[in-house]
Chains A and B, each alone.
Chain A
Amino acid sequence: MSLMKHFAAATASIALTAGAAVADPALIFDLGGKFDKSFNESAYEGAQRWAKETGGSYKELEMQSEAQREQFVRRMAETGANPIVVMSFSNIETLNTVAPDFPDTKFVLIDGVVDQPNVRSVMFAEHEGSYLVGMLAAMASKSDTVGFIGGMDIPLIRQFGCGYAQGVKAVTPDATVIANMTGNTGAAWNDPVKGGELAKSQISQGADVIFAAAGGTGMGVLQAAADADILSIGVDSNQNHLHPGKVLTSMLKRVDNAVYAAFKAGEAVETGHVNMDLAAEGVGYALDENNEALITEEMKAAVDAAAAKIASGELAVHDYYTDNTCPAVSF
């Protein structure tokens, strides 16, 4: 009996010390802000899911300017938070500078690669997921003309567009892909009015499926497509529910899973390169009750076969980053 008590006390004290030693994880959002309806918000959802499941707490920060990148990551590391998830490729240089100064802190960079011993670099294979929704678009299109609307014209968005166009051409080699970018400033991520106008313009050119990879701007694209009674494709999170029966599918980029996994692993999070591709279920397409009527059995079979081929390496989707060109579409 007394031995039992002794054990109980020992485990209790271990639990206590462990509790005190475990630091809160932290999430640092990029300039787009926490509620950008896209990339950052997806990370926020992952963190929230972790907090709800474990009852733990985490720290968060929103960057407001370029000069704050290093400042905020450094200050967060000084508070003892561990691991620290940092969003966006814009912080590659930031972590290259800050991470070596905090060798005992683990950093997780989403969407970028940093070669430091205490950094976990998470990359998503956007081109693979986009390829699949491109195939679906081509199979759903009756006019053989499909549209792509990007947010800001940056390499990442071209990566989406390039994968999409390849998927379209794989199904219908002579299909027309109309690609437009919303703008050249950060405002392009949050301009639903312009997104809607671009969608209308593409519809007038014959497009009957439009893929929006444009953050908040995509809301306008999806709305315009639903109004014109054509199909649209959502991005990042599952957006099928926004206009049930009008959104063909959504290209999933599971940033939330990456953040959730990092938080769950805590200080023991593995560093190094992580490729969130089709095989790792980092990207994919959304199928739920809102779009099951739109995706026929044949379409599903064709896409799943392609997905299996991509995952096994049998089918290679051209990666825009490798040579900054796209064989299937010009931007």
Chain B
Amino acid sequence: MTAMPKWADAVLVPLISLLIAFFISGLVILAIGEDPIAAMKLMVTGALGSTYGWGYTLYYATNFIFTGLAVSVAFQAGLFNIGGEGQATLGGLGVAMACLFIPWPHWSLALVAAVFASALFGAAWAAIPAYLQAKRGSHVVITTIMFNFIASALLVYLLVNVLRPEGALDSASARFGDAMRLPRLNDILALVGIPFNNRNPANISLLIALASCVGVWLLMWRTRLGYQLRAFGKSEKASVYAGINPVRMTMYAMLISGGLSGMMAINTVMGEAGRLLLNSVEGAGFIGIAVALMGRSHPVGVLLAALLFGFLYQGGAELALWTSIPRELIIVIQALVILFTGALDDMVRRPVAGLFLLMKKGKA
């Protein structure tokens, strides 16, 4: 295994997995009588061929960066946080609380408040499973997924009974004030003179997501806490022997993870919809797991994997728009990519590692 150079581990293996996934997707498209080459072209031009496509791709990618980072931080500490969905739901509630009830004079102030509120709510939602894991040994996988359902029920209750404006048909909160509209990506790029399509939801949250990537990298690889978290994740017993407090590590990892998941809501709730919707998370919490696995829990990997999934989402939308490929099949294509890059990663990794080992022996 050690024979494999770093670039092969980080780039070559995911790339081969991806190609296999696309090849099998092509067979599936062929089987229902559509042209796979044309479909692929449509996905690429639709998602990356115009600033309009890029806007949507980046919008989806922003969500996946947050949830991918969230899963990877917990993963580094040896915890499998699959509650991103619920934590992001609560993050949305935090954003709504910050935006609905305080008349901020300017979006920048509202944004700061929303970042804090979303991170706080998301972290609080992760804190309970974290505490149960740390103190009682209740497995975090079970508790976080149960908390997803509780979050969903809580949101429905609040949106149907409390936050919904009287007489409205839609189970959604009232609109946030116009002052709280976040600048879209085209507004930001216009400042530096780059023309960008204005009919897409990509917004300033993308910059916060990128900053979070840097922040997570600094935290995990440049601070004492990051070192402790990673040591704890590698071996709990050894880290305890080294004087690291396991209860504290579990809490820290989950709080950071929940906070990052919650911050996803800035993009969807504040950046896109401008109000709290029933299903604004839409599975991004779960996609975050695939993104973290594929990105090997490193911020750079997470960023690239998030872009790939953003491409798949927007490309899938274009397929739905311009072909008669049913939407279930688009989900199949997305699922194949997750399957090959996440779950079946080892299937590709072993032969590639073996190949490098052979090459090394040949040289020696």
Interface on A for B, CB 8 Å cutoff?
31, 33, 61-62, 64-68, 71-72, 74-75, 89-90, 92-93, 111-113, 152-156, 184-186, 321-324
Contacts and interface: CB of A to CB of B under 8 A. Distances in A.
Interface stretch (B121-129, B166-174, B222-230, B338-346): B166-174
Contact of A75 (B161, B170, B273, B321): B321
**From B160, B166, B277, residue with most partner A Cβ within 10 Å:** B160
Contacts of A64: 316-317, 320, 327, 330
B59 interface: yes
B282 A112 contact: no
Contacts of B167: 321-322, 324
Contact of A156 (B166, B169, B199, B282): B169
B262 interface: no
A91 B294 CA distance: 35
A67 B271 CA distance: 11
Contacts of A71: 56, 200, 317
B32 to A, nearest CB: 16
Contacts of A62: 320, 326-327
Contacts of B161: 324
A315 to B, nearest CB: 22
Interface of B: 56, 59-60, 149, 152-153, 155-157, 160-161, 164, 166-171, 175, 199-201, 268, 272-273, 275, 277-280, 282, 313, 316-317, 320-321, 326-327, 330
A321 B169 contact: yes
B313 A65 contact: yes
Contact of B199 (A74, A89, A152): A74
Contacts of B277: 66
A92 B59 contact: no
B182 to A, nearest CB: 15
B272 A66 contact: yes
Nearest to B326: A62
B166 A324 contact: yes
**From A67, A68, A92, residue with most partner B Cβ within 10 Å:** A67
A132 B326 CA distance: 38
Contact of A154 (B149, B166, B171, B282): B171
Contacts of B279: 31, 66, 185-186
A184 B153 contact: yes
Nearest to A31: B279
15 contacts: A64-B330, A66-B277, A71-B56, A89-B169, A92-B169, A93-B273, A152-B156, A154-B278, A155-B160, A155-B169, A156-B169, A185-B152, A185-B156, A323-B166, A324-B164
A75 B318 CA distance: 10
Contacts of A321: 167, 169
Contact of B317 (A68, A152, A154, A185): A68
